[in-house]
């Protein structure tokens, strides 16, 4: 077969080259294939008909030579495909209709496109006065054939999003749940006067909307609306619940967890469990809260977690989608950078990029930042860090060094387990987007034994910020910055001063074992120095085990070895002052570094300088001795 390039096709058909490229990309030119970074087209290919009907902003922009805006913060499907760059996820509809689970729960981290995807499903399935097929006719689903098209626009749809239900009390939460349901009833005002609904139905509608409904009847609101819609339209509705677990998370953080779980259990059970008035149900959330029996007895529920292969590419951006997007915006040169900052997630068998961060990165002239950090509440991870055991602390240290940890993952983890069961911490961090699966060794139903790591540079920054926040009551961030500055400037007196200040902030006179102090010190040093140093502790080197080593990634920076000594309570008494004893003890610590040859491993790396520091402390007093070895 003979081919022509985009330039030749544009001249042959009287179209702009950008328009021809857009038509190739959308699959509307039969036989067009990508060769390197360009498209080639069969010479015999017919000029495609213009069937855009002003639906695709991407095609319109391509035709006019302008670039389509990025859909930052836009979760309305119609608005996105009409006015913004849209990454086509419509084949989720095909895959769903091929398997037809009665109720589907998709669990993904926040800001991975769940709300936009659910609004896409609503737009596709919902029966309205408007012809909504125009939003799909140039999308991948439409090319799949009549088997799928026949489902378009034929169902009544109930759509609720709980993503903004973030209140501090159960009373406020319940009031806003009631308001949200009432608003959805008003959106379906046809049932108020429907002759197919009875007086009980109409009475329930009136009382729900005017606020006089008995609270005990509120959990049935979704079930009753579903039943009334089926009566009126003669077809059972599709029910979509977006971010179902947002009020549950805030209930856990604010102390009304049991109340919100009890309500949700009855609310969802009435609507989804063995309901005759349901065509299909969709839910999204971060966690699958199954052990709390929210979905008790729902044998029609199918959960699709980040471990599952089915639907694995429909939340977040894939590598191919990122390449196409970077090419469209003429930023192919930034592909490696966008990978290092925002790639790294793995859902099922697919590598996934954080969509929110990628869009903001492109919109911000490709200046990498931790965009995801500011999109939600990180209180949970802060609680985990602040209350971490020594084992969890050691694992966090390994993760901050770019290493992996092995952990058993349970995707049905619940919030109370995070505090009571250390092993559940990694399950939560994984499902919430703070960890990635490097290797899945074995899988058993919703559980798996996995190798885990921090996904990318962006999440490294999240850990650093939250570690510093978790220990904000122990040490000040200004001190942390001053320590880093002193090291980078090789200001040894300044470093001594700031380290002493750091220790005095960190040491607790009530913690005789110094375990939490040491944990705070190590995590604090990780957060402070992680970009430039690999921080390790209690590792074999020379003839023993050093306490703390900071090995520089850049050989021009000094290596740092720290040996800690503690003056016991009884030793603190006597004729000599505590200061004199601490000074002597810090000198002993410094001598131990040389005597045990702790610097041996760092010397092999070819660094130019090693700072050896001996620290002795007693209660909140600390003395530091140091020596600089230039090589």
Residue 394 has pLDDT above 90, yes or no: no
Count of beta carbons in the 10 Å neighbourhood of residue 198: 12
CA distance 286 to 201: 34
Distance CA 347, CA 368 (A): 23
Q: 53 or 313: whose pLDDT is higher? A: 313
H/E run at residue 201: helix 199-210
Query: Exposure of 391 by Cβ count < 10 A (0-12 exposed, 13-18 middle, 19+ buried)?
Result: exposed
Q: Which of 91-105, 305-319, 356-370, 606-620 has the lowest mean pLDDT?
A: 606-620
Q: How far is 287 from 537, CA to CA, in rounded Å? A: 34
366-385 confidence digits (pLDDT tens): 999 999 877 666 666 666 66
Stretch (H or E) spanning 128: none
Is the model more confident about 10 or about 321? 321
Query: Tens of pLDDT along 445-454?
Result: 556 788 899 9
Both structure tokens of 510: 């009530």
Band of residue 295 on the pLDDT scale cut at 50, 70, 90: confident
Q: Model confidence over 502-518: pLDDT tens digits?
A: 766 665 544 444 545 55
pLDDT of residue 44: 78
Q: Quickly list DSSP for 30-68.
A: TT-EEETTEEEEETTPPPPP---TT--HHHHHHHHTPPP
CB neighbour list of residue 51: distance below 8 Å, 6 or more residues apart: 137, 138
Dihedral of CA atoms 278, 284, 290, 294 in degrees, nearest 10, equals -50
pLDDT per residue over 73-105, tens digit each? Answer: 999 999 999 999 999 999 999 999 999 999 999
Task: Tell me what pLDDT residue 49 has.
Answer: 62
Percentage, residues of the chain above pLDDT 90 = 46
Give yes or no for residue 519 having a pLDDT over 60: no
pLDDT, position 208 = 93
pLDDT band at 237 (very low <50, low <70, confident <90, very high): very high
pLDDT confidence of residue 470: 61
Query: Residue 597 above 60 pLDDT?
Result: yes
Tell me the C-alpha distance between 347 and 164, whole Å. Answer: 26
Q: How many CB atoms lie within 10 A of CB 175?
A: 13
Distance separating alpha carbons of residues 101 and 95, to the nearest angstrom: 10
Distance CA(153)–CA(75), nearest Å, equals 20
Q: Which helix (H) or strand (E) holds 377?
A: none
pLDDT of 473 > 70? The answer is no
| pLDDT(28) > 80 | no
Beta strands in 376-474 (DSSP E): 405-410, 436-444, 447-453
Cβ atoms within 10 Å of 237's Cβ, excluding its own: 27
Band (pLDDT 50/70/90 cuts) for residue 488 is low
- By the 10 Å C-beta count (0-12 exposed, 13-18 middle, 19+ buried), 358 is classed as buried
Reading the block at residue 617, the tokens are 């402390």
Q: Tell me, what's the pLDDT at 54?
A: 36
Q: Are 502 and 480 in contact (CB under 8 A)?
A: yes
pLDDT at 475 over 70: no
Lowest mean pLDDT across 260-264, 414-418, 437-441: 414-418
Q: Is 444 helix (H, G, I), strand (E, B) or coil?
A: strand
Structure tokens at 248: 């549950």
Q: How far is CA 226 from CA 231, 272, 616, in A?
A: 9, 10, 70
> Residue 157 pLDDT > 70, yes or no?
yes
Distance CA 424, CA 426 (A): 5
Lowest-pLDDT range of 81-85, 180-184, 597-601: 597-601
Give yes or no for a contact between 337 and 456, defined as CB atoms under 8 angstroms apart: no
Find the mean pLDDT for residues 274-284: 92
Structure tokens, 549 = 């080593």
- Sequence-separated (6 or more) residues with CB below 8 Å from residue 386: 470, 471
Which residues, other chains included, contact 152 with Cβ-Cβ below 8 Å and sequence gap of 6+? 124, 125, 132, 133, 136
547 vs 51 pLDDT, higher one: 547
Average model confidence (pLDDT) across the chain: 84
What distance in Å separates the CA atoms of residue 231 and residue 192, rounded to the nearest whole number? Answer: 12
- The residue that leads in pLDDT, 139 or 491, is 139
Q: What six digits make up the tokens of 396?
A: 């966090």
Average pLDDT, stretch 412-438? 78
Is the per-residue pLDDT at 252 higher than 90? no
Instruction: Give the span between the Cα atoms of 46 and 28, in whole angstroms.
Output: 10
């Amino acid at each position: 077969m003979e081919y022509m390039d985009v330039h030749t096709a544009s001249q042959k058909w009287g179209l702009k080259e950008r328009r021809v490229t857009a038509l190739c990309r959308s699959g509307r030119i039969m036989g067009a294939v990508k060769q390197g970074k360009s498209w080639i087209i069969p010479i015999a290919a017919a000029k495609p008909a213009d069937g855009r009907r002003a639906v695709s902003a991407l095609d319109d922009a391509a035709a006019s030579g302008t670039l389509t805006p990025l859909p930052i913060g836009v979760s309305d499907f119609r608005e996105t495909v009409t006015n913004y760059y849209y990454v086509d996820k419509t084949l989720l509809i095909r895959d769903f209709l091929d398997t037809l689970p009665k109720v589907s729960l998709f669990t993904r981290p926040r800001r991975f496109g769940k709300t936009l995807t659910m609004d896409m499903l609503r737009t596709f399935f919902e029966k309205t006065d408007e012809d909504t097929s125009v939003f799909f006719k140039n999308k991948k689903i439409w090319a799949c054939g009549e088997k799928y098209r026949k489902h378009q626009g034929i169902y009544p749809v109930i759509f609720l999003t709980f993503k903004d239900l973030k209140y501090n009390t159960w009373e406020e939460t319940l009031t806003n749940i009631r308001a949200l349901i009432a608003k959805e009833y008003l959106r379906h005002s046809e049932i108020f006067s429907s002759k197919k609904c009875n007086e009980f139905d109409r009475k329930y509608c009136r009382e729900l909307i005017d606020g006089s409904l008995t609270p005990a009847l509120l959990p049935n609101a979704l079930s009753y609306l579903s039943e009334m819609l089926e009566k009126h339209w003669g077809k059972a509705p599709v029910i979509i619940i977006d971010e179902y677990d947002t009020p549950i998370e805030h209930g856990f953080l604010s102390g009304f967890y049991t109340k919100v779980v009890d309500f949700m259990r009855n609310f969802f059970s009435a609507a989804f469990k063995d309901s005759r008035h349901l065509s299909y149900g969709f839910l999204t959330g971060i966690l699958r809260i199954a052990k709390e029996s929210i979905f008790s007895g729902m044998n029609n529920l199918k959960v699709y977690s980040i471990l599952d292969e089915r639907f694995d590419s429909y939340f977040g951006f894939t590598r191919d989608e990122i390449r196409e997007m970077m090419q469209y915006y003429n930023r192919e040169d930034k592909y490696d950078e966008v990978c290092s900052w925002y790639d790294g997630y793995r859902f099922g068998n697919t590598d996934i990029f954080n969509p929110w961060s990628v869009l903001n990165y492109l919109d911000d002239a490709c200046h990498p930042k931790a965009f995801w950090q500011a999109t939600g509440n990180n209180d949970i991870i802060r609680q985990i860090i602040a209350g971490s055991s020594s084992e969890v602390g050691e694992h966090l240290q390994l993760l901050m060094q770019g290493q992996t940890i092995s952990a058993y993952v349970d995707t049905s983890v619940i919030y109370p387990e995070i505090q009571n069961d250390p092993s559940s911490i990694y399950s939560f961090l994984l499902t919430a987007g703070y960890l990635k699966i490097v290797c899945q060794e074995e899988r058993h139903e919703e559980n798996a034994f996995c190798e885990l790591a921090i996904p990318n540079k962006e999440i490294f920054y999240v850990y650093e910020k939250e570690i510093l926040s978790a220990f904000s009551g122990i040490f000040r961030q200004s001190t942390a910055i001053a320590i880093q500055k002193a090291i980078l400037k090789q200001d040894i007196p300044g470093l001594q001063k700031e380290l002493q200040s750091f220790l005095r902030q960190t040491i607790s006179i009530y913690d005789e074992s110094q375990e939490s102090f040491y944990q705070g010190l190590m995590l604090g040093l990780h957060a402070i120095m992680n970009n430039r140093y690999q921080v390790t502790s209690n590792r074999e080197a020379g003839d023993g085990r050093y306490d703390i080593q900071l090995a520089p990634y850049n050989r021009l920076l000094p290596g740092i070895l720290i040996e800690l000594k503690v003056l016991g309570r009884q030793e603190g008494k006597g004729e000599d002052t505590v200061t004199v004893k601490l000074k002597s003890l810090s000198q002993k610590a410094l001598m131990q570094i040389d005597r045990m040859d702790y610097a041996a491993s760092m010397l092999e790396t070819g660094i130019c300088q090693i700072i050896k520091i001996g620290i002795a402390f007693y209660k909140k007093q600390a003395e530091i001795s140091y020596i600089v070895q230039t090589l």
